[in-house]
Structure 1
């Protein structure tokens, strides 16, 4: 498996995987999200490809705010079961290399077991969000 920073020519494939995994939200522009992540020096959009196939089979985004790391857009193709674990480890390593003291994962309720099996604990904090575009 190859895990590397995403390339601009992979955006359509990345967005298709995010949509397949129900990670996009109505009103968002996931292509713009991907491009902005790739353009930021404080984040990385990682893609996983099989050794013998250049198709994107997984993604993860790691972002660093100077103290805490955040991981989101973790998406994998069902036929690649070990991809999520490798992406998570690579994202955590990327954040640790930048000095992150802790990591937070934005995860769906359905995926909590995956993270808890890897040592993540539920936080008493609750994430809330609001669009800064159009209101």
Structure 2
């Protein structure tokens, strides 16, 4: 589920198994992951690093600002239009995958790895 709730649910499962970094399939899911981390009394990025995907326009304004992979939207659109125009023109297409580079936009939701010997714990387990 590419939703805030889907990100939160998936993050809870990963946090339960001791993960200290989460890469999400969308920025919206990353917001849900941040919500899950914060609901446990943990901090982003000190306890858990979060990375999104898309670089949606408002991600630089979240708290903390979201580290994300920026999709090359113009290049994706160009490749799609080129492939569609070729099909319309009757050109034989191999339909091979198109690989485009994404840019990592580093912001405040990622940091150094948490200590491997001390996985983050929920506030309930701290004494």
Q: Which has the larger radius of gyration?
A: 2
TM-score (norm: length of structure 2): 0.29
Higher relative contact order (CA 8 A, sep 6+): 2
TM-score w.r.t. the length of structure 1 is 0.28
* Higher share of residues assigned strand: 1
